Amino acid sequence: MRLRMVRRFIFVWILTAFFCVHNASASASMKRSQLVGSIAPDFALETTADTKVALRDVNGHGVVLFFFTTWCPYCREKLPLLAAERQKMKEGKIELLLIDAGESKAKVKAFIEKQQLPFAVLLDVNTLVAESYGVVGVPTFVLISADGDVVWMGNELPDNYRKLLTR
**Range in 106-110, 116-120, 147-151, 152-156 with the lowest mean pLDDT:** 116-120
CATH code for the structural domain at 2-165: 3.40.30.10
Confidence (pLDDT) at 166: 83
The answer to whether residues 130 and 124 touch, using CB atoms and an 8 Å cutoff, is yes
**For the segment 67-106, what is each residue's pLDDT rounded down to a tens digit?**
999 999 999 999 999 999 999 999 999 999 999 999 999 9
Per-residue confidence (pLDDT) for residue 24, from 0 to 100: 45
Contacts of 131 (CB under 8 A, 6+ apart): none
Q: What is the pTM of this model?
A: 0.81
Q: Which residues contact 167 (CB under 8 A, 6 or more apart)?
A: 145, 151
Residue-level pLDDT at 154: 95
Question: pLDDT tens digit string along 23-75?
Answer: 444 445 556 668 999 999 999 999 999 999 999 999 889 999 999 999 999 99
